[in-house]
Structure 1
Amino acid sequence: MRNLLERLEKNVLVADGAMGTALYSNGLESCHEYNNISNPDSVEKIHKAYIEAGADIIQTNTYAAKKCQLKTYGYEDKFEEINIRAAEIARKAAGENTFVFGTIGAIRGLRECELSLETIVNETLDQVKVLLSTNKIDALLFETYYDQEEIRAVLTEARKLTDLPIITNISLLEAGITQNGEKVTDALSTLVNLGADIVGLNCHLGPYHMIKSLKQVPLFAQSYLSAYPNASLLQLTQTINGNEYRFRKNSAYFEQSAKLLVEEGVRLIGGCCGTTPEHIRAIKKGIKDLKPVKRKIITPLPAEEELVRVANNKPTIVDKVKKQVTIIAELDPPKHLNVDKFIEGAKAIDKKNIEAITLADNSLASTRICNLAAATLLKEHISTPTLLHLTCRDHNLIGLQSRLMGFDILGINNVLALTGDPSKLGDFPGATSVYDMTSLKLIPFIKQLNEGLGYNGASLKKTTNFTVAAAYNPNVRDLSKTKRLVEKKIKAGTDYFITQPIFEAEKIEQLAEFAADYPDTPFFVGIMPITSYNNAVFLHNEVPGIKLSEEFLAKLEEVKDDKELCQKIALEESKKLLDIALKHFKGIYLITPFFRYDLTLELIDYVEENKDK
């Protein structure tokens, strides 16, 4: 009985539906997999409900049962027990007449994952080994893989561990293409070549878009096709407890969809998020008396407009700074709606020999005029390009892409990718920090736009030409401890670094030695003039990443009541730092404090006068 591939050779088989949906609706443990220990009878009852509905296959309740995933709930020490109990419960429910798949979900998903690929593979293989050791499963199911690198690496290693059938289901954000813009046919074909016995799609898409995606997929000689669609798109529903997002109850629709999936060559049909035993019953009814198709007509997705590749014939900031001293100056948008001084400062800086004016994105989590609006305003008054900061704190994935598309159509090609200071540090400590990703993911995301692909892999019909900067904080005790992060950012696609302001000569010397290891990635040294003794004390004690020398603070304290003298000492200190920076670096980043653009102008002139010494 328990030979899956022999059954699929002549039959269309029905798998189960969502386990998480059932557990959630029954109000069970928020860590679904821990229910294998705490509520085994409930898990078994769900399995049996799917079998009674007509499922030929059930899957173990182990989607997120790796150590790194269980650690979120404090159950990592229960890793083996959770997986073993899951296999035992599923086999008990299945008996000998129903197949059991050992289920393994992806680690990388739509949100950022800090784990290395090697760690991900090892975590996954640990779970594979435990599930295989039970001798209770008939196949391994790898599901909900958005990241093709992850599933390919995992499949390659898992294939070495077992001869059991392996099913690999990838997930798409857009019909017909993966998140990195690869056609679904090519993605599935690669998995076939790596040894998957069944390949297909699950999650995110409902039946309509899953069928549309599979129309372009051929029948593979070595592997069968599978499909596990979601119940529907989520819809907002009013309940006694308020508004909730729920899936539609549309089991009759699933009956018709199952027939269409069979027409596209699918031999294994189940359900993903939102599906219930009613959906599985409908699928069973829909495929009744249907046999697998032996041939199909491939229907490619409609041809998209040819991608317009926009050539950037002008030298970039990186091109220039590799050859000559290059200055960029920061002028933050105001915290209020009076923009007169902001425009006045920008006009004054525009007359100088600088490469870009940078505009912060609510720096220090303090609300300012939107920097995209500020940049648009400045275009009416100056010719100097703007360099916009972009934080992950204030924008979700949708907002990040939307904002970057806005940058592009306005001709803004310079971006500083930032994670962003947490909201609790700023003016509105109760505000939510989004952090769908950090700068380490934002950087390659921006570079993907340069290939004409959105985050979901869909064509933008035109490439962008972003040059991407990353932030670097040299104000730490040991710069060697930052080496790993710098190299990660370079690998992610960073074109150059912009440092936090430096107030110590020794730090610039240390930075020069550190940066020598990265000759192809320029560093712009941040210099910010101090405006007063109180300003210095605040920066030194309260602003993350900024450290002033005790000697400099003492000098300012001696003359703190003489504003003019205090300012003179502070500017002289900035000029000393610039002298050292110019010995080692061609990139200078001048930060304007409190709209004191007169200080920035003086420092720009100083750099121009001393850059060739």
Structure 2
Amino acid sequence: MNFLEKMKNEVLVGDGAMGTLLYEQGISKCFEELNLSDPNRIIDAHKQYIEAGAVIIQTNTYAANRLKLEKYELDEKVKIINQEAVKLAREAGPNGIFIVGTVGGLQNFHQEEWTKEEVLEALEEQIEALLVSNVDGILLETFYDLEELLGAINIVRKQSELPIIANVSLGEIGVLHGGVSLKEAIGKLENAGADVVGINCRMGPSHMLRSLEDVPLPKRAYLSVYPNASLPEYQDGRLFYHSNPEYFESMGEQFVNQGVRLLGGCCGTTPEHIRAFSHVAERRTPVEEKWVTPSLKKVTKKIEFPRSLEPLSDIAKKRRSVIVELDPPKKLSTDKFIKGAKVLKEAGVDAVTLADNSLASPRIDNMALAAQIKEDVRPLVHVTCRDRNLIGLQSHLMGLHALGINDVLAVTGDPTKVGDFPGATSVYDVTSFQLISLMKQLNEGISFSGKDLGQKANFSIAAACNPNVRHMDKAVQRMEKKIESGADFFMTQPMYSEEQIEAFYHETKHLDTPVYVGIMPLTSSRNAEFLHNEVPGIKLTDSIRSSMASCETKESAQLEGIKIAKSLIDTATQYFNGIYLITPFLRYEITAELTAYIEQKSTAKLTH
């Protein structure tokens, strides 16, 4: 008899968190490697859960895939780690205990840029290792990405008819990341071939219970829940969960009322929590019917652009367009910055763009300055992945939306090591690609976690690109990937070669997404050498460096820098409508002059 047959008439109990038991023992290295180096510790953990009443035991293989093991230099040991894990679980479990091979989800919001193909290949390798090791089923758990989980189910079903337990992790109550409802997800998992479907991790019992209230009983599959012990508390660099087994027992009763037939535990749960669930399973039988109140469809409002704020991407498709970067000041006075923004508007710029602590040095918050200037000139705010975690990023973007600031540039951000505080933490919860996708998600009225925001944002999203690379085709491939993520237009790093600008045009002319070509006027030979030798992503030609080096005064150097910039503009405007001028050292009179020069060229072209 397999565990599905028992589940027809019984509520079954799974185990709790392997990681929690090991973490409490002071172990902080790769848990899966212990299958090889300390097998008795793993056997003991399994036995503790079996003695507490668990009849479905997970193998210690949650992260035993090639991509996760790679950082421990264990990626060539996927097969043996998984197979040894099954042996240890078998050794711990007497007859009547079911062993399920555990496979954890890979896709989340961290910065790994694994392709879909790499993820599926890693999952397939691990699943194959478990299936040949005499498991009683496969447990797929902690999947935030529904498509990844459906892919994993497909991999199992191509090779085996063993039972599949498929658990998603929710971003918000009843909702997956991306806005997919739990009800919809469970239907898709059941149709894909999962036998037990449910939720694990991320939430405690209360939020999981609320999530299940809108979910009807599946037609064929059974429901499962593996809640966390509670919300975690952070103390002295470690996470702690409250011990609340009595609460688990009362919540277990309510889970059964919602149709759950498999009760287990995730982060923070211990044998005591599982013992509480086993008490419930001993006295309860599964429910056969469940009434679910039909939910009303929510309507999310769309806020349209005012007519005067046509998207910059559309402007650049129709006519010459100029964006000028004006860095927020490092000191508290904003007078010069505000004056510069007004001068640039009078010169005819379409937008003033504000960097987000460029070169990892603290400046006045660009959102605050954008709010101050937006009545005079259109602000385009840079948003980096460096300084804010996912919570801060969404809060920041919601704040921009509340202020009516809709133009944003998604960038990775210079690492803190290059800035004024080299010991500061670089966050990088997401890549620039993911940040673009998340901004687009806000435009659908869906939070990063999948929650309905009740209103759609209206961000016009710029992406950065760097043509100053040896292999320009790879830079273009990154641009194409950013377009897939949702980029509306591009702003390039400054270029200092007419030939490079022309080559960049030919490499990108197949793209329909507008490009604003970066031009940054030089102010001195020292400035030129610093940019060329020390700033990532910027290279100057030998002739430009020689020209700047030959200038004997500050005035002649500035004039030469403007002359070089005009020559670059002459070439850029032959191929691109968008020009992105970067103001050096808040010398806005230079970029104002260049803006006027571009306007004169456009007017002259029209009159001819």
- Structure 1 residue 28: deviation in Å? 3.3
1:201 to 186, 199, 204: 199
**In 1, Cα distance between equivalents of 2:208 and 2:451:** 16
The 5-angstrom pairing of residues 350-369 of structure 1 reads 350-369=345-364
Q: Secondary structure at the match of 2:199?
A: strand
2:288 to 291, 294, 308: 294
Q: Partner of 1:594: helix, strand, or coil?
A: helix
1:502 and 2:495 correspond? yes
Please report how far the alpha carbon of residue 562 of structure 1 lies from its aligned counterpart in structure 2 after TM superposition. 1.8
Could you tell me which residue of structure 2 aligns to residue 541 of structure 1? 533
> Structure 1 counterpart of 2:70, which letter?
K
Q: Are 1:15 and 1:57, in contact at CA under 8 Å, matched by a contact in 2? A: yes
Letter in 2 for 1:432: T
Deviation at 1:348, TM superposition (A): 0.7
- Any residues of structure 2 matched to 1:205-224 within 5 Å, and which? 205-224=203-222
Shift of 1:243: 6.3
Q: CA deviation at 1:266?
A: 0.4
2:321 is equivalent to residue 330 of structure 1: no
For residue 323 of structure 1, report the CA deviation from its aligned partner: 0.7
- Give the C-alpha shift of residue 542 in structure 1: 1.2
Query: How far is 1:548 from its partner?
Result: 1.2
Q: By how many angstroms is 1:180 displaced? A: 0.8
Partner-residue secondary structure (3-state), 1:110: coil
Alignment of 1:266 with 2:260, yes or no, is: yes
Aligned to 2:94: 95
Distance 1:316 1:160 in 2: 47
Aligned twin of 1:385? 378
Partner of 2:342: 347
1:285-338 per-residue CA deviation (whole Å, 9 max, x = no partner) reads: 12322111000111467x686321212353211111101001111111000011
Q: Which residue number in structure 2 is paired with residue 569 of structure 1?
A: 560
Task: Give aligned pairs, total.
Answer: 602
| Maintained 8 Å contact 1:103/1:140 | yes
Q: Where does 1:453-602 land on structure 2 (aligned, <5 Å)?
A: 453-518=446-511, 520-559=512-551, 561-602=552-593
Letter in 2 for 1:592: T
Return the letter of the residue paired with 1:597.
Y
Task: Say if 1:107 and 1:113, in contact at 8 Å, map to a contact too.
Answer: no
SS in 2 for 1:295: coil
State how far apart, in whole Å, the 1-side matches of 2:267 and 2:293 are: 27
- Are residue 607 (structure 1) and residue 598 (structure 2) matched? yes
Distance 2:395 2:350 in 1: 26
Displacement of 1:259 in angstroms is 0.7
Q: How many angstroms apart in 1 are the aligned matches of 2:533 and 2:234?
A: 47
Q: Matched residue of 2:585: which SS? A: coil
1:368-407 to 2 correspondences below 5 Å: 368-379=363-374, 382-407=375-400
Question: Aligned partners of 2:285, 2:37: CA distance in 1, in Å?
Answer: 41
Matches within 5 A, 1:235-314: 235-237=233-235, 242=236, 244-299=238-293, 306-312=299-305, 314=307
Contiguous gaps of at least 5 residues in structure 1: none
Amino acid at match of 1:326: S
Confirm whether residue 166 of structure 1 aligns to residue 158 of structure 2: no
Question: Does the 8 Å CA contact 2:109/2:434 hold for their aligned counterparts?
Answer: no
Q: Secondary structure at the match of 2:198?
A: strand
Task: Pick which of 578-587 and 482-491 moved more.
Answer: 482-491
Aligned twin of 2:26:
27
Q: How big is each residue's C-alpha offset from its partner over 1:331-360, in whole Å with a ceiling of 9 and x where there is no partner?
A: 110000111111111111111222110000
Between 362-371 and 482-491, report the one with greater CA deviation: 482-491
* SS of residue in 1 equivalent to 2:223: strand
Distance 2:450 2:384 in 1: 22
Retained in 1: the 8 A contact 2:111–2:429? yes
* C-alpha displacement of 1:29: 5.5
Percent identity for Structure 1 against Structure 2: 48
CA–CA separation in structure 2 for the residues paired with 1:536 and 1:484: 29
Q: Classify the secondary structure of the residue corresponding to 1:589.
A: strand
Q: Is the 8 A contact 2:412 2:431 kept in 1?
A: yes
- Per-residue deviation at 1:113? 3.2
Specify the code of the residue in structure 2 equivalent to 1:162: S
Distance 1:15 1:162 in 2: 22
- Aligned-pair CA distance for 1:268: 0.5
Q: How far has the Cα of 1:517 moved from its partner? A: 1.9
Q: Tell whether 2:6 aligns with 1:11.
A: no
Question: Structure 1 pair 544/112, CA: closer, same or farther in 2 (3 Å)?
Answer: closer
- Whether the 8 Å CA contact 2:342–2:376 is kept in 1: the answer is no
In structure 2, relative to structure 1, the CA distance for the partners of 1:530 and 1:199 (3 Å cut) is same
CA distance in 2, matches of 1:550, 1:229: 62
Partner residue of 2:179? 181
TM superposition shift of 1:78: 2.0
3-state SS of 1:258 partner: helix
The one-letter code of the counterpart of 2:559 is: K
State the distance in 1 between where 2:523 and 2:297 align: 56
1:189 deviation in Å?
0.4
Q: Quick check: 2:476–2:508 contact (8 Å CA) kept in 1? A: no
571-580 vs 91-100, greater mean Cα deviation: 91-100
Partner SS state of residue 288, structure 1:
helix
- Give the unaligned 5+ runs of structure 2: none
Specify the code of the residue in structure 1 equivalent to 2:272.
E
| C-alpha contact 1:525 1:589 (8 A) present in aligned 2 | yes
Q: Which moved more, 1:405-414 or 1:284-293?
A: 284-293
Distance 1:605 1:124, change over 3 A: same
Counterpart Cα distance in 2 of 1:485 and 1:200: 37
Residue 95 of structure 1, CA deviation: 2.5
The answer (yes or no) to whether the contact 1:44–1:90 under 8 Å persists in 2 is: yes
User: Partners in 1 of 2:321 and 2:27 — Cα distance?
Assistant: 60
Query: CA, structure 1 residues 77+478, in 2 after alignment: closer, same or farther (shift >3 Å)?
Result: closer
Three-state SS of the structure 2 residue aligned to 1:201 is strand
The separation in 1 between residues aligned to 2:15 and 2:107, in whole angstroms, is: 24
> What's the secondary structure of 1:35's corresponding residue?
helix
The change in CA–CA distance for 1:244 and 1:300 in structure 2 (over 3 A counts) is farther
Q: Which amino acid aligns with 1:401?
A: Q
The answer to whether the 8 A contact 1:231-1:275 is kept is yes
Contact between 2:388 and 2:428, CA under 8 Å: does it hold in 1? yes
d(CA) in 1 for partners of 2:548, 2:348: 31
Cα drift, residue 267 of structure 1? 0.4
Q: What residue identity is the alignment partner of 1:607?
A: I
User: How does 1:110-121 map onto structure 2 within 5 Å?
Assistant: 110-121=109-120
| Structure-2-length-normalised TM-score | 0.97
Superposed CA RMSD? 1.3
